[in-house]
Amino acid sequence: MSWYKNLSRRQFIQLGAAAVTAGGVSCHRLSPSPWRFLTVAEARTLAAVCDQFIPPDHDPGADWARVVNFIDIQLCGPYLPLQKSYRHGLLSLDRTARAQFGRLFASLAPEQQISLLRAMETNALAEDGWTEISPSAFFELLLSHTMQGYYGDPRHGGNRDHVSWKMVGLSYPPVRGRQPYAQKNS
C-alpha cells in the first residue's frame, strides 16, 4: 500500500515524467498523421470548408492561414467537448456529399461545395445521419471556429504570418508592459 514511500528520488521523477507524458499523449495519434486530433481525411474536408468560408483571392485564404491547424490544436484543449461533434459532423458532411454528388466534400467543384454549405446553413439537408449535431448547428460551429482561427492571434495556431491583420491594416498588437519607454534627457 505504501510502495511509493520506498521510491528513490530518481524513480519518483521517472514515474512522474511517465505520468505527464501519458497525459499529453491522449490527444496525439500513434499513427503517422500530422494532426493531433483530426484524421487526414477529416482535415482535408475541414480545409475545403474553411476555404469556402474565407477563400483565397489577392489575400491568402483560410487553408493557407492554417485555420485547420488552429482548430485541431483547440480540439485538444478548450474545444475538447466538441470532439464528438467534429467527428460526427465532418463524417456526415462527407456522407451527404457522396450521396448527392458521388464524391467526398473536398473533391467537389467549388459550386457544389457552396450549394452543400448553403443547405447546411439553412438546415435543408436530409437529417438522416446527422444525429449528433444538426447541419445548421455544425455550420455555425465551423464558421465561428474558422473566423477565430483566421482573425485570432497566431500564437494559437492560425493566422499564419499575421495574414488577416495585414489584410485589414493592423500591425502586430504590442504586449502590455513591453512598450519602450521614452527617456527624458535632463
Domain that holds residue 77: 30-163
Residue bearing the bigger pLDDT, 15 or 50: 50
Q: Which cell goes with 53?
A: 468560408
What gap in Å lies between CA 38 and CA 70, rounded to an integer?
11
Residue 43 in domain: yes
Q: Report whether 116 contacts 100 (CB < 8 A).
A: yes
Number of domains in the chain: 1
Question: What mean pLDDT is predicted for residues 57-80?
Answer: 90
Residue 174 in domain: no
Residue 79 in domain: yes
Residue 78 in domain: yes
Q: Residues 6 or more apart from 71 whose CB is under 8 A from it?
A: 38, 46, 79, 86, 145, 146, 149, 158
DSSP characters for 34-59? S-SSS-HHHHHHHHHHHHHHS--SSS
Residue 1 in domain: no
Flag whether pLDDT at 176 surpasses 90: no
pTM passes above 0.85: no
Flag whether pLDDT at 131 surpasses 70: yes
Model confidence pLDDT, tens digit, residues 101-111: 999 999 999 99
